[in-house]
Structures are given as C-alpha cells and as structure tokens.
Amino acid sequence: MDINKIRNDFPVLRDNPNLAYLDNSAMALKPDMVINAVNDYYSRLGVNVHRGVYRLSYEATDLYEEARTTVASFINARFEEVVFTRGASASLNLVASSYGMNFVNEGDEVITTELEHHSSHMPWFNVCNVKKAKLKYVPLDKEGRITVEAFKSVLTNKTKVVAITYVSNVMGYITPIKEIIKLAHEVGAVVIVDGAQAVPHMKVDVKELDCDFLAFSGHKMCGPTGIGVLYGKLDLLEKMPPIEFGGDMADTVRKDSQTYKASPYKFETGTPIIASAIGLSAACKYIDSIGFDNIIKYEKKLRDEAIKGLKEIEGIKIYNENAETGIISFNIDGVHPHDAASVFDNNDVCIRAGHHCAQLITTWLNTIGTVRASFYFYNKEEDVKKFVEAVKNAKDFFYGF
C-alpha cells in the first residue's frame, strides 16, 4: 500500500496534513471518488428516480439501482436482499419493528450481549417488553469477549432471535459469528448481525456466514452519511411487513385495501436516499481497489505499534490489549475520558471519549467511559507517534495539577 498516495485521495487529509484522525469507528473520511460521485449526481442529474419518464430520471434510476447491485456484490448478496436505510441503527430497528413485533411471541427468548451498541440492544429490549418475551445475555469471559461456549450456555429451544455484534465498537473483538449462527439455526432462531464495525475493515460474505440479517452504515466505510444497508435473506424479507407507508413502496391503493411492492422496495418509503446510495457504491469500489487483505494487515501493524507505545506509559489502563481490530479503548488513571479528549484535540489528534453508545460494556468494565482511538487504512505511522505523544501530554497536563 502506498499510504501517501492513498492519503492524497482524501481532501480532509490534504487540507490538514498534521492531523492524526483516529476517530474512524465513529466516522471514516471520504475520498475524492465518493465526493465526486455524489456531486456528479447532484450537478448533472439531481432528479428523482423510478417514475420519471424522461432521460435524466432514467439515468438517475440506473445509477441508483447499479449502486444496489454494487453493494450486493460487496457482501455477496442478491439484489433483492439489499435494503437501503438511513444507517445501521435504522436497519437494526427495522428488523426489530417488523420481524420482532410480528414473529416473537410471549415466552420466546431473545439472546444479545453486553458488547452491543445501543442500536443492537435497545430495539430488542423494547420488543421483549411489548411481546412479553425474555431477553438473555451471553456471559462475557474475563477479557470481555463473546465465546461459543458462553453462547451455548444461554441458547435453548425457546430462542427465537439472536441480536449480536460482529465487532465490538468499544473492545474491537471479533465475535466467532459463523459458529454462533450455526448453533442458533439448529434451534430455529434467526440471527441479526450488527456489522457496522466489521464491514469497513474485513471481507464479509453473508452467504458464507449464513446470517439471516446484516446491518451496516456507509459513513464508517468512506461513504456518505445518511445511508445504511440492511441485508436480509429473501424469504424472511418477503414475509416481513413494512413499517413505513407511503410513496414508492405501494403497489395498489384502494379505499378498502392496499398491497405493497416486493423486497427491497416495500421497505424504502418515499424518495430514496439517491445521492448517498451512489456515493456508497463508489466507497465499495474504492475499498475493493485497496483490498481487505492489505487493510487488515496494515491496521494491525498500526495498532500493535500504538499498544506498544501505550504500555511504556505508566498510569494507562488498556481495556482491550489483545483485540484483533484497529480499536483501542483505554483510560488515563484518575482522568475523566472527556477531559483527556480535550487535550488530544490541542495536539491535533482526533479521538472519541465516552460510553460510545454502548453503556452495557462500559458498566461491565466498571468505568463511566473510555478514550477510544480507532485506525483505518489511510492512517500513517506518524499518526501513531502523535497519538502516543498526546497520551503523554494529557497525562502530564492532568497529573501536574
């Protein structure tokens, strides 16, 4: 990988050459290829899709549906199995509101974990309250990991749904998802995978995993904001009712009856997220051009260097030293994570601080929050050095009082 060439693709990095951007788990930066794709739609077309009987609308429709084809290929899904949403949170809520509210019944069991982002946990907490089902949690091991054995301990014949993260946004651990899916299917349960932190960093093949649903966001994988994807097995999507009603999803509308279009359109009410879908398609192509093998290897190298640097500083608690991905969660002893984050900003280092919309795991860690650094393929070794130096500066600043 030519890191300098890659970094030159990103306007934010060109305009801020001294910036160490390490908040990639929250938002990835956008390359020219993505920005240009969005701008091209708005400047050259800028019209609605599907029903316009004129050339500009035909072309916009082709670009929009080609985007669905590209995204489907990116995760090895069928065209009809890719639903565009506002983001991973919207995708996960769609499944809970449609599948959960219609196919989970009183006495059923739903399994989740304390590693979940709120968007993977809260919708099913709500479903279980409304439907009088039981919500169960996979016990985490001493490192805070999900293990197959622990999953087996809560799996029963009453399990109907498993809502689980592929990669924790706080701990950076990779869940043994394929084995868990196989076990869940043996008791007839469906598995909803939160792939928001996985899809941008590793090859995810929904057919190989055999997951029933997968959710992810465009903005974490160099795509635009406001676009996400829900993958669902077609037979499940076909039997799920829509949760929003109106334009474009309707087939026939009468005073006494209504019918809906087939998947994915019955879940995409109103004017679609046209420009952002086109931008997401460009992001998929850009990531493919770099290659996941390169991305995984390079991110691990940066993370290993950062962990080594942190371990040389006294008073630093690292919560996930052995994580497999580019996420590092830590705290400076005696310093509130939000206070630490302000010092990082003064050093041109962008990190995240708080509970990261995952309060269950921060509670499990017995802390109010963590400082989180997260790497992506456009980061450089100088970013690691700046990050470690910023940790030292933050510690010195607060310990000096």
Residues known to be catalytic: 357
Facing residues of 192 across strands?
Answer: 163, 213
Sequence-distant (6+) residues with CB within 8 A of 292 are 201, 202, 203
Query: Token pair for residue 354?
Result: 């708080």
How far apart (Å, rounded) are the C-alpha atoms in residues 354 and 375? Answer: 18
